[in-house]
Chains A and B, each alone.
Chain A
Amino acid sequence: MSLFAILKSTENKSGHSFDRSFDQCLKCTACASQCPVAAVRPDYPGPKQCGPDGERLRLKSSEFLDEALKYCTSCKRCEVACPSDVRISDIIATARSKYGNNSFKIREFMLSHTDLMGTLTRGSAPLVNKMTAIKPVRLVMDKALGIDRRRTFPAYAKTSFRRQYQNVAEQQAQFARQISYFHGCYVNYNDPELGMDLIRVLNAMNIGVRLLNKEKCCGVPLVANGFPDKARANARLNLANFEQAMADGSEGIISSSSSCALMLKDEYPHALGIDNSKVKSGINFITRFLANEFAAGNKPEMTPVNLKVAYHSPCHLIKAGGVLHTLNLLWEIPGLELQQLNSNCCGIAGTYGFKKENYETSQAIGSPLFRQIEESDADYVVTDCETCKMQVEMSTSKQVLHPLTLLRMALV
């Protein structure tokens, strides 16, 4: 952000951070050329109109709130294109929760409280997995909740990651170097195996992995679904735990989810108005941490994987400038033939694509990506984001791996 923008961002009465970056808009329309929603929905006026232009009007009267704002996926591709650092996607998200209809919606609550849903299903995972796979149940979810019945749900794991970690905790403490892992909801409840891959890789580099004393959902789904206060409470708890971890001798905090990492490191201050400056420099998405370790000479021993993979870069990783690190890492894996897929959004956008009214839009956005994946002769698709993985696996015939999993496969 420019100094100008910092000076101009003020606090409004309710203590919400109040973004004035729309004032910096040059009206160049660079943002409009990159919006995946506008490309498939003629009734979506696009980032310039919904963001800086609309904000000017909304400040006059909330009657100017355009219903179409709900179609924005918060992919932030518009912000990447903007030459003037306008926080277009944040302006849209804030306007939705500030001026929109905020009556309690059970669906939004269910989809966004990922940690709560995970806790509730604990012990009943096989049952829940079966239930969400049954047609009549899906029909009820579709009709009663507006969760599209064509969606496949992420399966819940039998044993959470935190519990599995207990088996290796002692061994982790043996390493001289220690790093704390923000596993997030997805690894904890849906994919503990990915967390275990992370441990194996870091251990092979002589680094032990700790868990935080406590962590809560990073807040991405909460912000997207209109629960900013809950997101703020989570942010405070997480940051307190990060500070504690650093004080206890941890080198830093790593995340294996590109969206969690963007939120924790870059978005807490301006999307939620919460200061993370004490720990910010210690927070890293895993591929940046690993790429820097590799560059400094701490590389695990690897054997050729002899695979051909197609890499899809998630929107939020692009926004964070993280594609550089993931590529740096993938370039180091021996025997890997790597194809970079064209930069297209997959369409899921976290919880967005689960909603019935967004299903068609979501799949239309993703279709160029799906087509390219089907046409490629890659053995696997690789991507850094868990919801991209769900979307691509549901919409194509290929299996999707996290870069960490690929690295673990290369370990000797």
Chain B
Amino acid sequence: MRRQCLVIGGGLAGLVAGIRCAEAGLKVAVVTSGESGLAFASGAIDVLGYMPSAAGVHLNEPVSRPFEKIDELAEYFPEHPYARIGRDGVYKAMDWFHGQLAETGLSMFTASDEQQNQWRVTAAGALRPTWLSQSVAEVLPWDLQNVKRVVFVNISGFLDFLPELAASGLKRHPAFRNSQVEALNIELPLVNGMGATADTMRAPQLCRALGEKDFNIIASTLMEKVQDASLVVMPACLDSALDSLHLKELRRRTGLNIIDVATLPPSLPGIHMQQALQHRFAALGGFLIPATGIRHGIIENGRVFNVSNGEDLLTADHYILASGGFFSKGLNVRPDLNAEQVFSEPLPVKEPIFGLDLNTPEQFSERKFLSRTGHGFIRAGVRLNRDHQPMIAGQPLTNLHVAGTVLGGCDPVQECSGGGLSISTAWQAAAKVIADIEAAGEKA
């Protein structure tokens, strides 16, 4: 049966778009081909951590109040997705997302002032400004003053988290020059490990292997050895499910400020967010269609008529494209180019399903600010016209909406804005679908 909206891509952007449509009561399905960025992500949601590089803006200055910076960003980069959505829109989208997650039982925290960024610690010991964090709110003060002792704690032998590397990473940060930053490995029996050792496990297996006795040893070792630590950082391998409370319990028992951070993938916090979003979508009556890659679209009179997986046709009134970036194959290097041409062509990239018009890195250099330190490939992506519509050879498509990393005009890695961009663009695309369907209903 025909869906009112078909979302292509089941990553963060696709699921958010699906949830918003389902919440509005639309008949909606999400089709997706493979894994998304969520299986690799930290599980924290960044909105804007650094202003994109442009003359006069200090790159390394972290943004403390992300929403307030959006007006400024819009002035410099009118093609940036945030510029289209505007400060209020981005905040509304993020606040709504926070509420949706709460419905699933996944608690996420803003800083005590919810307009404010907070720090997240990466597994490499770097600090990134983020907006929503998964384990605890504000693990470090924003000014980073008076953090005396940070300890990175690993389960001995576990290879997907390297506490020594993390400690030396954090030590390089100027604010930690006078702090004590160190690594600690705890030897554990792994009571539920079925005889396997930590060096053969990834985070999900290690999580399963930990039993009561292991948690007792962790707690007593921490109390004995690092009782005065301002912050204890562990690999995210303590909680296997959304309703598991081992980290919380460990914090309570030790009285320590303990956080867990995403390991090398698979990342449990990322998987948890994926599950939470999928469950929410299903609970609202949405349908997720896995292992179905869309190959091309059939366009008639400026509308997507249907799309095809190469064998069968899928039909809907509206389509949302949320197929991700290069890794997810939402964008491709043009197959018709040889290696040399890839580097000389101004636009060696293609959006493979519809062949939508793209932003090229070159278009940025024509703008007010010439410096371009971000990677050109990352800024390349689908271009929208003034009415937020994608185009093919300049001709707009009226029932196709675009969200997430497949969009161009931004550099989420450099800006620390990946989550916020996916969520707010998806929220906006869904809002457009809902409004169009309502308008069509009134007309009819």
Instruction: Show the binding face of A for B, using Cβ within 8 Å.
Output: 28-30, 32-34, 38-46, 49, 80-83, 288, 291-292, 295, 313, 318-321, 323-325, 327-328, 331-332, 339-343
Choose from B31, B39, B196, B270 the contact partner of A42 (Cβ within 8 Å). Answer: B196
B230-270 CB contacts (< 8 Å) to partner A: 240, 264-267, 270
Query: Are A321 and B202 in contact (CB-based, < 8 A)?
Result: no
Question: Are A38 and B202 in touch, CB under 8 angstroms?
Answer: yes
Give min CB distance, A313 to chain B, whole Å.
8
Chain A nearest Cβ from B293, distance in angstroms: 8
- Are A83 and B327 neighbours in the complex by a CB distance under 8 Å? yes
Question: How long is the Cα–Cα vector from A214 to B18 in the complex, in angstroms?
Answer: 47
CA–CA, A81 to B274, complex, Å? 14
Let me know if A46 and B202 touch, CB within 8 A: yes
With beta carbons under 8 angstroms apart, the residue of B1, B201, B328 that contacts A83 is B328
Chain A residue numbers with a CB within 8 Å of B39 are 30, 33-34, 81
Q: Is B128 an interface residue (CB 8 A)?
A: no
Given the contacts A33-B271, A41-B194, A45-B200, A342 and B278 also touching, CB distance less than 8 Å: yes
- Decide if B291 is an interface residue (CB 8 Å cutoff): yes
Inter-chain contact A332/B1, CB cutoff 8 Å: yes
* Cα-based distance from A343 to B314 in the complex (angstroms): 21
B209 is an interface residue with CB less than 8 A from chain A: yes
Question: Smallest Cβ distance from A253 to chain B, in angstroms?
Answer: 16
Bound-complex Cα distance A45 to B204 (A): 11
B240: A residues at CB distance < 8 A: 39
16 A–B pairs (Cβ distance < 8 Å), ordered by A: A28-B265, A30-B39, A34-B39, A42-B206, A43-B193, A43-B195, A45-B201, A83-B328, A83-B329, A313-B290, A324-B31, A324-B289, A331-B1, A340-B286, A342-B275, A343-B288
A373 to chain B, nearest CB (A): 13
Residues of A within 8 A of B31 (CB): 324
A323–B309 CA distance with the chains assembled, in angstroms: 13
The minimal Cβ–Cβ distance linking B191 to chain A, given in whole angstroms, is: 10
B289 touches A42 (CB 8 A): no
**Does B287 sit within 8 A of A, measured CB to CB?**
yes
The 7 closest A-B pairs by CB, nearest first: A33-B266, A43-B196, A331-B1, A42-B209, A30-B35, A43-B194, A33-B39
A292 CB contacts on chain B under 8 angstroms: 312
B353 contacts partner chain A, Cβ-Cβ < 8 Å: no
> Could you say which of B208, B290, B291, B312 contacts A41, with CB atoms under 8 Å apart?
B208
How distant is B144 from chain A, measured CB to nearest CB, in Å? 32
Chain A residues, Cβ within 8 Å of B327: 28, 83
Query: CB distance B35 to A42 under 8 Å?
Result: no
B209 partner residues in chain A, CB cutoff 8 A: 42
Bound-state Cα–Cα, A198 to B240, Å: 42
Please, which residues of chain B bring their CB within 8 A of the CB of A318?
A: 290-291
Q: Which residues of A contact B288 (CB under 8 A)?
A: 340, 343
Residue of B nearest to A333 (CB): B1
Residue of A nearest to B264 (CB): A29
* CB atoms of B291 and A319 under 8 A apart: yes
Residues of A within 8 A of B201 (CB): 42, 45
Indicate whether A39 sits within 8 Å of B265 (C-beta atoms), given known contacts A83-B34, A323-B291: no
Q: How close is A140's CB to chain B, nearest CB, in angstroms?
A: 28
- Residue numbers in B under 8 Å from A80 (CB-CB): 34, 290-291
Given the complex, which residues of A lie within 8 Å of B267, measured CB to CB? 33
With the chains together, A292 CA to B267 CA distance in Å? Answer: 39
Q: Known: A38-B205, A318-B290. Is A32-B312 also a contact (CB below 8 A)?
A: no
Kindly state whether residue B192 has any CB partner on chain A within 8 Å. yes
Closest Cβ–Cβ distance, residue B199 to chain A (whole Å): 10
B292 at the interface (CB under 8 A from A): yes
Additional 6 contacts, C-beta under 8 A, given A81-B34, A327-B29: A39-B240, A46-B205, A83-B35, A83-B329, A323-B290, A342-B279
Question: In the complex, what distance in Å separates the CA atom of A320 from the CA atom of B202?
Answer: 28
Determine the main DSSP class of B at the interface with A. loop
Residues of A near B34 (CB, < 8 A) are 30, 80-83
* B residues less than 8 Å from A45 (CB atoms): 200-201
Residues A29 and B266 in contact, CB atoms below 8 Å apart:
yes
Asked if A33 contacts B265 (CB within 8 A), the reply is: yes
| Residue on B nearest A29 in the bound complex, by CB | B265
- Check B193–A42 contact: CB distance below 8 A: yes
Contact yes or no, B291 A42, CB < 8 A: no
Residues of A close to B271: CB separation below 8 A: 33
Q: How far is the CA of A81 from the CA of B37 in the complex (A)?
A: 11
- B282 contacts chain A at the CB level, 8 A cutoff: yes
Question: Is the pair B266, A324 in contact by a Cβ cutoff of 8 Å?
Answer: no
Does A339 lie within 8 Å of B282, measured CB to CB? yes
A49 contacts B265, C-beta separation under 8 Å: no
A341 to B282 Cα, complex, angstroms: 8
Chain A neighbourhood of B45, CB < 8 A? none
Q: Does B166 contact A (CB under 8 A)?
A: no
Question: How far does the Cβ of B249 sit from chain A's closest Cβ, in whole Å?
Answer: 21
In the assembled complex, the Cα of A30 lies from the Cα of B196 at a distance in Å of: 22
* Docked-complex contact A325 and B312, CB < 8 angstroms: yes
Contacts of B313 in A (CB 8 A): 295
Is B190 an interface position by the 8 A CB rule? yes
Residues of A within 8 A of B264 (CB): 29
Contact between B290 and A343 (Cβ–Cβ < 8 Å)? yes
What sequence of 0s and 1s flags, for each residue 19-35 of chain B, a beta carbon within 8 Å of any chain A beta carbon?
00000000001010011
Chain B residue nearest to A337 (CB atoms) is B285
Which residues of chain A come closer than 8 Å to B328, judged between CB atoms? 83
Q: How far is the CA of A331 from the CA of B286 in the complex (A)?
A: 12
Whether A32 contacts B265 by the Cβ 8 Å rule is yes
**A324 and B193 within 8 A (CB):** no
Tell which of B194, B204, B286, B292 touches A321, judged by Cβ atoms closer than 8 Å. Answer: B292
Shortest distance from the beta carbon of A250 to any chain B beta carbon, whole Å: 20
Q: Least Cβ distance of A297 to chain B in Å?
A: 13
**Cβ–Cβ contact A288 & B312, under 8 A:** yes
A42 in contact with B208 (CB, 8 Å)? yes
Q: How far is the CB of A95 from chain B (nearest CB, A)?
A: 17
**B29: chain A residues within 8 A (beta carbon):** 327
Instruction: Give the distance to chain B from A370, nearest Cβ to Cβ, in Å.
Output: 15
Give bound CA distance, A341 to B39, whole Å: 20
* Minimum C-beta distance from B278 to chain A (A): 7
CA distance A325 to B208 in the complex (A): 35
Q: Quick one: which of B34-48 are within 8 Å of A by CB?
A: 34-35, 39-40
Q: How far is the CB of B336 from chain A (nearest CB, A)?
A: 15
B270: chain A residues at CB < 8 Å are: 33
Contacts of A325 in B (CB 8 A): 312
Which residues of chain A come closer than 8 Å to B202, judged between CB atoms? 29, 32, 38, 46
A319 to chain B: closest residue by CB: B291
Given A32-B265, A43-B196, A82-B34, are A327 and B204 neighbors across the interface (CB < 8 Å)?
Answer: no
The CA of A221 and the CA of B314, in the complex, are separated in Å by: 33
- Smallest Cβ distance from A11 to chain B, in angstroms? 28
Contact of B282 with A342 in the complex, beta carbons under 8 Å = yes
Q: Which chain B residue lies CB-closest to A344?
A: B275
Chain B 134-171 against A: per-residue CB contact (8 Å), 1 yes, 0 no? 00000000000000000000000000000000000000
- Contacting A327 at CB < 8 Å: which of B192, B208, B282, B287? B287
The interface residues of chain A lying within 8 Å CB-to-CB of B282 are 339-342
Contacts of A38 in B (CB 8 A): 202, 204-205
Q: Which residue of chain B is the closest to A368 with respect to CB atoms?
A: B241
| A81 to B289 Cα, complex, angstroms | 13
Q: How far is the CA of A339 from the CA of B195 in the complex (A)?
A: 40
B292 CB contact (under 8 Å) in A41, A295, A324, A341: A324
Residue of B at shortest CB range from A291?
B312
CA distance A319 to B291 in the complex (A): 6
- The complex places the Cα of A38 from the Cα of B193 at a distance, in Å, of 11
| Residues of B close to A49: CB separation below 8 A | 200
* Residues of B371-391 contacting chain A, CB below 8 A: none
Q: Assess whether B278 is in contact with A343, with CB atoms less than 8 Å apart.
A: yes
| Residue among B190, B193, B266 with max Cβ neighbours from chain A (10 Å) | B266
